[in-house]
Structure 1
Amino acid sequence: MPTIGIADTTFARYNMGRAAIDEIQKNVSVQIKRVTVPGIKDLPVAAKKLIEEEGCDIVMALGMPGAQQKDKMCAHEASQGLIMAQLMTNTHIIEVFVHEDEGKDEKELAFLMDRRTREHALNVIKLLFKPEKLVREAGTGQRQGFEDAGPLRM
């Protein structure tokens, strides 16, 4: 049975890990291993450990960078770490970040955190079980969270 890793943070203002697990369990039967770390810069090692020590086939790295410029720099550093961990383990780590300034208010921010997490959870399922679905979606302007952009027309 495949194992999906969930790495989330205490810094986030919404329980993204719970949303991811809920969406995964609604759609497939898999093992789930979850680890929660303080912040986004802790996610790369958490994801790498889920792969190497817990045997996860894929990992979701969930976090909420703050709105300040230094938070955006930390998010970039965390993203670089997640990319390095993917290359080191030859395993997908799906980064799901929602920046605190992406929502116009707390209600929209919570909506976005839930929706982006759930849509990426479905992408994880596609990567593991139905990669041909992703091929069919190529070039369709898919977005996670807000409305899809749609394809360009010639």
Structure 2
Amino acid sequence: MKIGICDTTFARFDMAGAALDQIKGQIGNINFIRCTVPGVKDLPVASKKLIEEEGCELVMAFGMPGPEKIDKLCAHEASTGLINAQLMTNTHIIEVFVHEDEGLDEKDLKQLAENRAREHADNVVKMLFKPDKMRREAGTGMREGRENKGAL
């Protein structure tokens, strides 16, 4: 099995490294193909290439958009591109974005980025290898990076 890992040089934390560590700690015998691009708008085509040219069965796309209005617009466009790439390839691309203004300070931002990357990596393991566990979590208010909200 191949999992694609796509990250950016714009990010201020190595979320891909945290996710790789998390997955490797749970599942062996997986090949990872990693691709690094400049920014979030480059993630859709890079993710699509990992699927179509490298044969990845799932891709994780990591980005850290800045706090400015233009950064949020670029993140939205990148997200739309990732959705389109999923539909074109019939393959999941797990978007893992952390906006710089989500952190209360730099220490909190770093912790949020690591938590979100690791928790999305846990989701990937469940999606690929433990779908019953994922199904049991439906409707439970799970969140990645911060405290879970809980079921109603």
TM-score by length of 2: 0.98
1:19 CA drift (Å): 0.7
Amino acid at match of 2:106: E
In structure 1, what is the equivalent of residue 135 of structure 2?
135
Amino acid at match of 2:143: R
Q: Which SS does the other structure have where 2:101 is aligned?
A: coil
Amino acid at match of 1:15: D
Question: 1: distance between equivalents of 2:96 and 2:77?
Answer: 14
1:14 CA drift (Å): 0.3
Query: What is the aligned residue count?
Result: 151
In structure 1, what is the equivalent of residue 6 of structure 2?
7
Q: Which SS does the other structure have where 1:101 is aligned?
A: helix
1:26 CA drift (Å): 0.6
Question: 2: distance between equivalents of 1:127 and 1:135?
Answer: 9
Taking every aligned residue pair, what percent have the same amino acid on both sides? Answer: 66
1:147 CA drift (Å): 0.2
Q: Which SS does the other structure have where 1:14 is aligned?
A: coil
1:52 CA drift (Å): 0.5
Question: 2: distance between equivalents of 1:28 and 1:47?
Answer: 22
What does 1:12-51 correspond to in 2, within 5 Å?
12-29=11-28, 30-51=30-51
Q: Which SS does the other structure have where 1:67 is aligned?
A: coil
For structure 1, the 5+ residue unaligned runs are none
* Per-residue deviation, residues 43-92 of structure 1 (Å, max 9, x unmatched): 00010000001110000000000001110010000000000000000000
1:112 CA drift (Å): 0.3
1:134 CA drift (Å): 1.1
In structure 1, what is the equivalent of residue 126 of structure 2?
126
Question: 1: distance between equivalents of 2:69 and 2:62?
Answer: 20
Question: 2: distance between equivalents of 1:5 and 1:125?
Answer: 13
* Per-residue deviation, residues 5-52 of structure 1 (Å, max 9, x unmatched): 100000000011111111111110111110000000000001000000
Q: Structure 1: which 4+ aligned runs deviate by more than 6 Å? A: none
Question: In the alignment, is residue 55 of structure 1 matched against residue 59 of structure 2?
Answer: no
TM-score by length of 1: 0.97
Question: 2: distance between equivalents of 1:35 and 1:120?
Answer: 18
1:119 CA drift (Å): 0.2
Question: 1: distance between equivalents of 2:112 and 2:45?
Answer: 26
Root-mean-square deviation over aligned CA pairs: 0.5
Question: 2: distance between equivalents of 1:103 and 1:9?
Answer: 19
